[in-house]
Structure 1
Amino acid sequence: HGAKGLEFEAVFLPGLEEGILPFAGMDMLLGKTVEDGVDLDEERRLFYVGLTRARSSLFMSHCASRRMFGKTFKLGLSSLVRRLAQDMLRKSAIRRHVRKSERQLSLFPAP
């Protein structure tokens, strides 16, 4: 990769949860024994590349819980993000949105 540094006005890094970054593999996410080790150096390098590409704005996000494969996971904030200087981060939170059950429309009135 020949280009280095400030390439984009804004960069978005979503999914910064432990197990996703650094990626621990589907086995860990599904609760199975992890067979292969995580290449932590490569994961750090990729994270660094993402961090250093923004000219003016870098947006990082993580979620309190994630639903995959019919299961809910509470993975926690990535250890790579926790290692950053916290005084350099501006944190914000979005309140959880609870979806109201929707009524199915019908072509025919209910009896």
Structure 2
Amino acid sequence: MAYLAYRLVPLADPNNGDAIDSDLGERARRLRLLAASYGSQLAPADVLPVAVARLHDLAAFTEARADQGQETVRSHVELYRRDAAWITRHADELCQESG
């Protein structure tokens, strides 16, 4: 669910170049809709910390791959870290009920 939200809402830093630019209110609305549509008791506040943790895991995994010689993926390491930081900075707004 966390990765799905990361990609579909999206929960990405708009400054990352390929991220869809939408305001926080729209992203909060999309996140609430996704959580409600998923058919579980998950709320945005449940999803965001997992998304941040998974992005840090993905950054570490990608960095290890780059260190093993797959240099083409190195640029993704900082992208994942920036996205995790963006989610952390905007978590309160993303969890607001009124978006």
Same fold (TM over 0.5): no
- Higher Cα Rg: structure 1 or 2? 1
TM-score w.r.t. the length of structure 2 is: 0.40
- Using structure 1 for the length normalisation, give the TM-score: 0.37
Which structure has greater helix proportion? 2
